[in-house]
Structure formats: structure tokens, C-alpha cells
């Protein structure tokens, strides 16, 4: 279902699609780009707390990069040569 969230900062209505009637998580205003932690219960917004980018990153850390060292195999074979 579609939920309309009014941004407390710029009063612009934003829409977000929800799977459940309850939601707790981040919301980003498309207009002023302010981040919020919103709480939705039974399809109604019960709380909307401003969230700093720093806090947002803390809750949603960037995915760790699996930087496989492809040079390792060659290093081992070089070492085995001696
Ligand atoms: Zn806004």
C-alpha cells in the first residue's frame, strides 16, 4: 500500500510503499533530502524523528567490500618455487 508522509521540515508530501501496516525505519524526503526515522502503526504515522546522515550511516553501514587479494595465489606459487 502507499503511505503519504508529510515532511515536517518542508511540508512536502512524500509517498512510500509499505508491505505491512506497521513500519519502523528510515525515510528520506525527496524534496529537502532530510532523513527521518519514522514509526507507522496501522497505516498512521505515529512518530517522525529527524535523523542525521551520520546516524543513518550507523544504522545502515555500507556493505563491506570483499576485496579478495587475487595476487595471493601467485605469491604462494612463487614461494613454493624455492
Ligand atoms: Zn522535506
What is the residue-level pLDDT of the chain in tens, covering all 82 positions?
899 999 999 999 999 999 999 999 999 999 999 999 999 999 999 999 999 888 888 877 877 776 655 555 555 566 666 6
* pLDDT for the residue numbered 81: 63
Helices (H), 30-81: 53-59, 71-80
Cα of 36 from ligand 1 centre, angstroms: 10
Polymer length of the chain: 82
CB atoms within 10 A of CB 54: 8
- Say what the pLDDT of residue 77 is: 60
Domain count, the chain: 1
Q: What is the pTM of this model?
A: 0.66
User: Domain range for residue 35?
Assistant: 2-80
Q: What strands lie across the sheet with 35-41, from one edge to the other?
A: 23-28, 35-41, 44-51
How many whole angstroms from 12 Cα to the centroid of ligand 1? 6
Amino acid at each position: 500500500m502507499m503511505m503519504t508522509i508529510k515532511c515536517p521540515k518542508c511540508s512536502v508530501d512524500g509517498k512510500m510503499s509499505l508491505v505491512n501496516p506497521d513500519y519502523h525505519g528510515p525515510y528520506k524526503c525527496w524534496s529537502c533530502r532530510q532523513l527521518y526515522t519514522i514509526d507507522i502503526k496501522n497505516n498512521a504515522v505515529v512518530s517522525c524523528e529527524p535523523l542525521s546522515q551520520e546516524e543513518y550511516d550507523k544504522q545502515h553501514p555500507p556493505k563491506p567490500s570483499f576485496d579478495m587479494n587475487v595476487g595471493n595465489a601467485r605469491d604462494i606459487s612463487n614461494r613454493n618455487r624455492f
